[in-house]
Amino acid sequence: MQRLTRWLAWWLLLPLVAGCSALTSNAPAIPLFNMNAPDEVARSFLDAWNVGDLGAMYNLLAARSRELYPLERFQNRYTVTAETVGLTGVTYRIHSTLRQGTTAAVSYDLTLLSSTFGSIDDPNRTLYLVEEGGSWRVAWSTMDILNGMAEDVRLVVSSALPRRANLYDRNGNPLVEQDRPIKWIAVVKQDMPNQEACLQLLARLLLRPVPQLRQYFNQYNPDTLFHVGELDVEVFNANQDELNRVCALDAGGFRSGEYTSRHYVGQGAMTHVTGYIGSVPLEQVEAYRARGYAETDLVGLAGIEAAFQDTLAGKPTRVLRLVEPGGRVIRELGGSAGADPMPIQLTIDRDLQIAVARALNDAFNYAEINWASVSTGAAAVVIDVRTGEILALQSYPTFDPNLFNRNSSYTNALPLIAQLNTDRRTPLSNKAISQQYAPGSIYKLLTAIAVTDEGIWPPDRIFDCTLTWRGQERFGDARPFRQDWRVADEMPAAGPVNTAEAIATSCNPFFWETGALLYQQDRSALARYSEMFGLGRRVGLQVLGPEAAGNNASPNNPTSAINNAIGQGDVQVNPLQFALAVAAIANRGSLYSPLLVRQVGGFDGTPVQQRNEPQLRATITLSDLVWDTVQEGMCLAVTHPTLGTARGALGDAPYTSCGKTGTAETGSRGSNSPPHGWFVSFSPADDPQIATVVIVTNGREGSETAAPITRRILDFYYNAPAAPFPRWWEGNYIPVPSPEGVFG
């Protein structure tokens, strides 16, 4: 009774403390229950809290409480509490009710049910009520949410994130390491004995396009010391003498240093696979906070880092406390145990991935004033044809993932990130999976498979590959005639060819003819065969971000069918899709799902938590005659002395490979819009191990760009000396002629 008397005195003093007017009653309508019983009102108030009906709770408040706590303020306190706690409901047990005149005190125990902290017991509670107009109402304050929660006391979740786990390649080599040393470099232009030589060296080491780096250099005065990037410690040490000599790193002032952070091996070679970490995005702060993260924590923002955020970061240990403004802890309400982070092993071959990244970067820098001056980028994929495992996946240009890490050495990260967003080569996009392109002549592999399997054109039947093909009268083509790509290249006609030779020489007239015949027999046949090989639908590698599905629609007229037969028209593919299709050609019918994550755990003293095995998506059943024909055509493309479109790039290699060039027009017919250059291959010829796909977007023909880059990749794979790039790449760019808008 003494406690109730003390509370009544406090309640009567509230108007003086708040400096407010006397009690008034503007209560909304109250739900039907016994308002004459304090314990019934208390039950209704707590039941409404359990279901989150804050409006019903507010309707039960006394008039004075509503004056002190407007509805929005009242709801905000409960909403913030619910979000902080992860509240799913409340349970309670009422013990007794004391009444004294127009006041009452209901004694009860409360339990908050939390998805994060489990059950939070808050016993020995008292809910005070006052009688107004014959009805009992709750004399509410913030203490009625939790004992000890005075007006200025807040709920605080303290969390401690464990050390983020590492990423490893298929051989156990680190791809991403936590708390490893990283070298940064800064330069002064006026100290350089040869600025252009320094640009070339830094572009090679940092995997940066020379024009991009040159533009960056131009922003600084000659005497300004400016940061240019970060290097692996091993790369820096191996090249330090050359850096000192060419870039004058040791000429006056401190121009290199070391710091410790999350280290991504390869200067950005892994970025489009591993992704990167950065600050919690503003639009996700609340969601991450509910998971135990502070808004200052670093989380995965792309690639494997984002897709496996909870695995790599572990689960933070969390403690829920009531804290005063000065930081004094009033109460500790509960806690949740954390979970250890788990390392991840990928199927990527680290050294091959770096070699692919260097092949692309070296090619673009070597051809800087030629096709690279107009190209919008490139992509490359290398797959194990026996398992579907991704050995390398690269999008060009790449970038340093530590740009997004606020703890890196980049003091000017924001403008550099802004440049990535406006770069016409879209470095932030993963061109290997997120973009789709017309395949051009690499699609002739599917056309050859379809017409051979359907019996439309026997493999040994000869076709005269002339320079001009006419299909208007015979097939209903909208165009009176079409010219082979050799016309634009001023080459003689290929002449008589069988199916394999038509593949090798990429004879457009052969595929226009057979594509038209196929359409006459079955309008959806080519689309059906493409679907067999996984084209036109996503392959299911969402861990690397959005995936382009491609387009595999059946043609609705003869002209569309004729265009589709050579990979133009409506056909669209992404590089990863086609790499899996080439792998299925190489292994004679096993279409695998792409495998990138080999296992979770098993490194750094952790147990293996999950191991992923190759998954066969489909078995493509075709006759040996079909497989022999298409494989022979691909091998002849590399080896045939006069017909092979890839012989110039790979014909003299000290290993065997089979491939198909492709050049896809990207503009309107008759325009000089730079085409996409493709080259697809499998190797070795007699016992295929790997399949490769390289695309150079908006550059030149596939035999001129993608094939030489593939040669560099295969040279590394077979530990052969790197073949030089074509000398003509050093000359000025000359647009690819295409009088009829048709490439080969």
Torsions phi, psi for 358 (to 5 deg): -70, -40
**How far apart, in whole angstroms, are the C-alpha atoms of residue 307 and residue 541?**
11
Residue 251: pLDDT above 90?
no
Cα separation of 428 and 411, whole Å?
A: 20
Q: Do the domain assignments include residue 119?
A: yes
Lookup: tokens for 643: 């017909």
Instruction: Give yes or no: residues 531 and 676 share one domain.
Output: yes
Q: What percentage of the chain reaches a pLDDT higher than 90?
A: 83
Length of the chain: 744
Cα–Cα dist 738/744, whole Å = 10
> Residue 58 has which token pair?
């507010």
Domain boundary among 115, 134, 150: 150
- Please say whether the beta carbons of 163 and 341 come within 8 A: yes
Same domain, 545 and 665: yes
With residues binned 3-state (H G I as helix, E B as strand, rest as coil), the percentages for the chain, rounded to 5, are: 35, 25, 40
**Are 507 and 631 in a shared domain?**
yes
Q: Which residues pair with 135 in a beta bridge?
A: 132
More confident residue, 22 or 376: 376
- Output phi, psi for 21, to 5 deg: -75, 175
| CB distance 405 to 261 below 8 Å | yes
The mean pLDDT value for 219-247 works out to 94
pLDDT given for residue 612 in this prediction:
97
The neighbour count for residue 398, using CB atoms within 10 Å, is: 24
Considering the chain, what is the average pLDDT of its residues? 91
322 and 445 assigned to the same domain: no
Q: What is the pLDDT of residues 180-192, one digit of tens each?
A: 999 999 999 998 9
Structure tokens that stand for 38 in this block: 């304090």
Query: At residue 741, does pLDDT exceed 80?
Result: no
Assign 742 a pLDDT band (cuts: 50, 70, 90).
low
β-pair type (154-160, 298-302)? unpaired
User: Residue 626: what pLDDT?
Assistant: 98
Domain assignment of residue 288, yes or no: yes
Q: Residue 14's domain is classified under what CATH number?
A: 3.10.450.100
Same domain (yes/no): 638, 501: yes
Which of 650, 723, 642 has the alpha carbon at shortest distance from 683? 650
Q: Which tokens is 294 given? A: 């502070």
Out of 303, 328, 346, pick the residue that ends a domain.
346
Under 8 Å between Cβ of 573 and 550: yes
Strand ranges (E), 329-458: 329-336, 344-346, 377-384, 390-396
Confirm whether 182 is domain-assigned.
no
Clarify whether residues 9 and 111 are in a common domain.
Answer: yes
- Whether 586 is covered by a domain: the verdict is yes
Q: Give the CATH number for residue 289.
A: 3.90.1310.10
3-state secondary structure of 451: helix
Same domain, 478 and 615: yes
Pair (339, 449) in one structural domain: no
Q: Packing angle between helix 508-521 and helix 525-532, nearest 10 degrees? A: 110
Instruction: Give residue-wise pLDDT tens across range 283-307.
Output: 998 888 777 787 888 999 999 999 9
Residue 233 has pLDDT above 90, yes or no: yes
Strand 344-346 relative to strand 167-168, pairing? parallel
* Mutual angle of helices 624-639 and 575-586, in 10-degree steps: 110
Helix axes 706-717 and 350-366, enclosed angle (nearest 10): 150
Residue-wise pLDDT tens digits, 627-685: 999 999 999 999 999 999 999 999 999 999 999 999 998 864 545 689 999 999 999 99
Q: Is residue 249 part of a domain?
A: no
Q: Which of 122, 150, 178 is the last residue of a domain?
A: 150
Between the alpha carbon of residue 562 and those of residues 203, 475, 511, 519, the distances in Å are 44, 9, 8, 8
CATH code, domain carrying 559: 3.40.710.10
Predicted confidence at residue 33, as pLDDT, reads 52
447 and 340, same domain (yes or no): no
**Over the stretch 604-629, which tens digit does the pLDDT of each residue have?**
999 999 999 999 999 999 999 999 99
What is the reported pLDDT for 287?
Answer: 84
Asked whether residue 89 carries a pLDDT value surpassing 80, the answer given is yes
Q: What is the dihedral of CA 15, 152, 125, 4, to 10 degrees?
A: -30
Q: Where are the beta strands (DSSP E) in 62-216?
A: 87-100, 103-114, 118-132, 135-138, 154-160, 167-168, 174-188
- The answer to the question of residue 196 being in a domain is no
Whether residue 682 sits in one domain with residue 550: yes
The first and second tokens of residue 94, run together, are 């009422």
Query: Is residue 80 within 8 Å of 145, Cβ to Cβ?
Result: no
Is residue 459 located within the same domain as residue 330? Answer: no
Q: How many CB atoms lie within 10 A of CB 160?
A: 10
Q: Are 220 and 189 in contact (CB under 8 A)?
A: yes
pLDDT level of residue 34 (50, 70, 90 thresholds) = low
Q: Is the dihedral of CA 481, 483, 488, 491 positive or negative?
A: negative
- Hey, is 631 helix, strand or coil? helix
Note whether residue 737 is domain-resident.
no
Q: Is position 573 within any domain?
A: yes
The pLDDT value recorded for residue 319 is: 87
What is the pLDDT confidence band of residue 22, given thresholds at 50, 70 and 90?
Answer: very low
Same-domain status, 545 and 664: yes
Q: Which domain holds residue 32?
A: 2-150
Instruction: Specify the number of domains making up the chain.
Output: 3
